[in-house]
């Protein structure tokens, strides 16, 4: 047989085999495509995480964690970094705090456990929400509410001090958040401008509870120095035991000074000098800060913790009197088992909406029941918390405070009247 004919004879059958293989592959693809059309979004996602090459590669390189597609970095800390992410099912933006467990000592791991415990306790429109916790042998992932408006420190550093009206709106929200924490026996201990975040709608979110602790009673004595030195209360520098609430209140006074003036009340070149300034309580408020605001700052920044303004006193102070706070609605259950155990007719409007959306995604009550007891360490809980939070926000649960009136400052009004009188007299003389 000539060489050419031999090659055709050899290649012919082989070519037919390849065609048959391609046909089988096409049939298999069509079968899988048809199957996927009948799968729920949850089933499709689960299948992709097990078999899809692109998804598996994303999981391998860290571009995907659990049900979340990870994007760029938006923050960092000593042992952590924060990245923007999207939930693959709900499409909501979240922030994922990624911690390297191998770099955490025993004390840091205890603090991380306290942070998770504190956030599980809190549900307030001005406190960052915890949706889900994931863990691998090397890393811990905290899936948090995303606040995309930047932090208070950056805003003031780039745009200058806040106007008196906006300062009231911001401070009232911080006050509401800290009051909620203290009512739930959670002490923040690291309140500073960098940990006050804005959402796109200018709603305030108090974040980063890494130094927080839970106490049995608000009068419990603590002994750990926490937080940033410029915001630290005098008792922390005395190496004494201290009560938690007054430490947070002092930090609120420093924050109010910073918001009102654009500068810090206590400034020094070294830590020792800063310590002396704080222990001496030496600071001065610019005269152009309104008198009611000055009085509130002085009422908070008192060296004796027992003499500082209480949170309820702040709420009723002259400076905040015109501010009308929207009372947060009763908190909803953060455990999806509430949907299973509740009488269907007793479900709230938000819960009915979330239950319907879960069913659309393919998450049944059986899924929830089979995962009960896992708390935030469950992907189903993560979906539920994101959806319940979205439902709350859509019903106005995070509305901004409103200034309904203006409390007159007699001194300022007198000065304004005097200047007006001088201007009028001068005008009359010229005329």
* pLDDT tops 80 at residue 272: yes
Residue 5 pLDDT exceeds 80: no
Per-residue pLDDT averaged across 275-291, rounded? 93
Residue range 360-367: mean pLDDT, rounded = 92
Mean pLDDT of the chain: 84
- 388-405 residue pLDDT tens: 999 998 888 888 889 886
Pairwise pLDDT comparison (1 vs 401), residue with the higher score = 401
| Residue whose structure tokens are 């922030």 | 95
Cα separation values, 301 from 98, 251, 309, Å: 35, 9, 9
Compute the average pLDDT of residues 370-374. Answer: 84
Q: What is the pTM of this model?
A: 0.83
Strands (E), 151-275: 186-187, 196-198, 204-206, 213-214, 221-222, 242-243
Could you tell me whether strands 68-76 and 80-87 are parallel, antiparallel, or unpaired per DSSP bridges? Answer: antiparallel
* Other Cβ atoms closer than 10 A to 62: 11
* Cβ neighbour number for residue 219 with a 10 Å cutoff: 9
What pLDDT does residue 424 have? 32
Provide the pLDDT for residue 394: 87
Query: Quick one: average pLDDT of 268-275?
Result: 91
Q: Which residue has the tokens 């006074």?
A: 253
- CA-CA-CA-CA dihedral for 291, 309, 224, 122, to nearest 10: -100
Helix (H, G, I), strand (E, B) or coil at 302: coil
Q: Do strands 80-87 and 93-100 pair parallel, antiparallel, or not at all (unpaired)?
A: antiparallel
pLDDT classification of 21: cutoffs 50, 70, 90: low
Active site residues: 190
- pLDDT score recorded for residue 22: 52
Is 91 annotated to bind ligand? no
Q: Are 173 and 204 in contact (CB under 8 A)?
A: yes
CA proximity to 74, closest of 58, 42, 98 = 98
For the stretch 168-226, pLDDT in tens is 999 999 999 999 999 999 999 999 999 999 997 779 999 999 899 988 887 788 888 88
Of 90, 72, 390, 75, nearest to 207 by C-alpha is 75
Beta bridge partners of 75: 82
Domains of the chain are 49-145 (3.30.200.20), 152-324 (1.10.510.10), 337-394 (no CATH)
Q: Please report, for the chain, how many H helices and E strands are present, in that order.
A: 16, 14
Token pair in block for residue 223? 């002994």
Longest dimension (CA), the chain: 125
In the predicted structure, residue 322 carries a pLDDT above the cut 80: yes
Among 108-117, 167-176, 247-256, the range scoring the smallest mean pLDDT is: 108-117
Measure Cα distances from 151 to 122, 193, 256, 262 in Å: 21, 7, 15, 14
Mean pLDDT value across residues 73-78: 82
Asked if residue 266 lies in contact with residue 225, where contact means CB atoms within 8 angstroms, the answer is no
Contacts of 69 (CB under 8 A, 6+ apart): 58, 63, 85, 86, 88
How far apart, in whole angstroms, are the C-alpha atoms of residue 413 and residue 396?
Answer: 37
Where are the strands (E) in 228-353, listed by range?
A: 242-243, 323-324
Q: How far apart are CA 71 and CA 290, in angstroms?
A: 44
């Amino acid at each position: 047989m000539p060489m050419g004919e031999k090659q055709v004879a050899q290649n012919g059958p082989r070519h037919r085999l390849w065609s048959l293989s391609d046909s089988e592959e096409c049939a298999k693809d069509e079968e899988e495509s048809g199957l996927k059309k009948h799968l729920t979004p949850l089933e499709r996602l689960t299948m992709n995480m097990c078999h899809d090459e692109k998804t598996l590669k994303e999981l391998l390189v860290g571009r995907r964690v659990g049900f979340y597609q990870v994007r760029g970095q938006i923050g960092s800390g000593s042992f952590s970094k924060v990245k923007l992410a999207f939930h693959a099912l709900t499409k909501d933006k979240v922030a994922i705090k990624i911690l390297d467990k191998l770099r955490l000592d025993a004390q840091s791991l205890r603090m991380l456990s306290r942070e998770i415990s504190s956030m599980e306790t809190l549900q307030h429109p001005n406190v960052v929400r915890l949706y889900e916790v994931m863990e691998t042998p090397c890393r811990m992932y905290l899936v948090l509410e995303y606040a995309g408006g930047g932090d208070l420190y950056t805003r003031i550093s780039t745009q200058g001090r806040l106007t008196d009206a906006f300062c009231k709106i911001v401070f009232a929200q911080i006050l509401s958040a800290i009051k909620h924490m203290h009512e739930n026996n959670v002490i923040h201990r690291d309140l500073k401008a960098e940990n006050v975040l804005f959402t796109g709608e200018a709603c305030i979110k108090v974040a980063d509870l890494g130094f927080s602790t839970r106490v049995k009673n608000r009068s419990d004595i603590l002994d750990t120095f926490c937080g940033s030195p410029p915001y630290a209360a005098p008792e922390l520098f005395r190496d004494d035991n201290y009560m938690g609430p007054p430490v947070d209140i002092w930090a609120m006074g420093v924050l109010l000074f910073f918001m009102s003036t654009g500068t810090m009340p206590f400034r020094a070149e070294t830590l020792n000098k800063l310590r002396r300034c704080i222990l001496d309580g030496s600071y001065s408020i610019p005269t152009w800060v309104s008198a009611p605001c000055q009085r509130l700052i002085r009422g908070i920044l008192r060296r004796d913790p027992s003499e500082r303004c209480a949170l309820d006193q702040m709420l009723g102070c002259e400076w905040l009197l015109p501010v009308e706070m929207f009372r947060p609605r009763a908190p909803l259950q953060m455990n999806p088992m509430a949907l299973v155990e509740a009488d269907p007719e007793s479900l709230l409007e938000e819960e009915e909406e979330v239950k319907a959306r879960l069913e659309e995604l393919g998450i049944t009550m059986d899924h929830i029941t089979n995962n009960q007891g896992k708390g935030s360490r469950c992907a189903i809980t993560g979906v539920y918390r994101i959806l319940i939070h979205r439902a709350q926000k859509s019903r106005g649960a995070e509305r901004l405070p409103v200034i309904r009136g203006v409390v007159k400052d007699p001194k300022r009004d007198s000065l304004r009247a005097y200047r007006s009188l001088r201007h009028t007299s001068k005008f009359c003389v010229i005329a």
